[in-house]
Amino acid sequence: MSFQLAMFYIFSAILVGAAAAMITVRNPVHAALCLVLAFFTSAALWIMMEAEFLGIVLVLVYVGAVMVLFLFVVMMLDVNIARLREGFIRFLPVGALVAAAMAVVMIMVVGARHFRIEPPAPAATDVGNTEMLGRLIYTEYVYPFELAAVILLVAIVAAITLTLRRRPGTRHIDPAEQVKVKREDRIRIVKMEAEKK
């Protein structure tokens, strides 16, 4: 067994273990941390397959940003996990049966023997995966790349359309108004006759 293969098995074992732990641990914070571990080991697997860019992006975006946000939400919301777990044992037999049937079908249909895949030769070391990806995105795939940008723009427009609203009657304060205020706006001088003793 080569060093590379050994590393692959080690990382895969950690990945499978972390994924299993993620759905079985009781504490949601621990579950989120297990997911971080799963992401991290998959990134390692990708880097071993010479897909450095994907590995780096996975660590930067998912581990660095998405999961941290996720942890914040989990900690802030204080989800009652016991209620979500109700019926876990009750549905377990049916769920296990479906999962087993799916697994059998997948193994029968999606085996590697159908995809005439030869292990590709290792790429030359002078051109990095990231550089190649950059070149391809801005040349061959420029049209799909631009479309993806348009989709993101639409997502922004849609999110703002659906959530931004001016509610009347909220007690929000405009600082500009406050700064501009003059003495006359706040104080009223009332002239009164002095009362006789």
Partner 1 sequence: MSFPIPDLVPAIPEMFVLAMACTILVVDLFLKDDRRDVTYGLTQFTLFGALVLTWIVHVPEARVTFSGSFIADPLSDTLKSFIYVIAAGVFLYSRPYLKERGLFKGEYYVLGLFAVLGMLVMVSAYSFVTLYLGLELLSLCLYALVAFDRDSGRASEAAMKYFILGALASGMLLYGMSFLYGLSGSLEIPVVAEYLIANAGQFSVPLTFALVFVVVGLAFKLGAVPFHMWVPDVYHGAPTPVTLLIGSAPKIAGFAIIMRLLADGLGAMHADWQGMLVLLAVLSLAVGNLIAIAQTNIKRMLAYSTISHVGFLLLGILAGTQEGYAAALFYTVTYAIMAMGGFGMIILLSRQGFEAENLDDFKGLNERNPWLAFMMLLLMFSMAGVPPTVGFYAKLMVLQAVVQIGMTWLAVYAVIFSIVGAFYYLRVVKLMYFDKPADEPLPVRGLDVTVVMSVNGLLMVVLGIFPGILMSIAALAVGP
Nearest to 49 by CA among 13, 5, 17, 19: 5
- Select 13 or 104, whichever has its Cβ closest to partner 1: 104
Residues that bind partner 1 (CB under 8 A): 108-110, 114-115, 135, 139-144, 147-148, 150-151, 153-155, 157-158, 161-162, 165
In whole angstroms, the minimum distance from the beta carbon of 131 to partner 1 comes to 10
In whole angstroms, the minimum distance from the beta carbon of 191 to partner 1 comes to 44
- Select 44 or 129, whichever has its Cβ closest to partner 1: 129
- Select 92 or 154, whichever has its Cβ closest to partner 1: 154
In whole angstroms, the minimum distance from the beta carbon of 42 to partner 1 comes to 18
Pair of tokens at residue 139: 């040349």
- Select 167 or 182, whichever has its Cβ closest to partner 1: 167
- Select 156 or 187, whichever has its Cβ closest to partner 1: 156
In whole angstroms, the minimum distance from the beta carbon of 134 to partner 1 comes to 11
In whole angstroms, the minimum distance from the beta carbon of 154 to partner 1 comes to 5
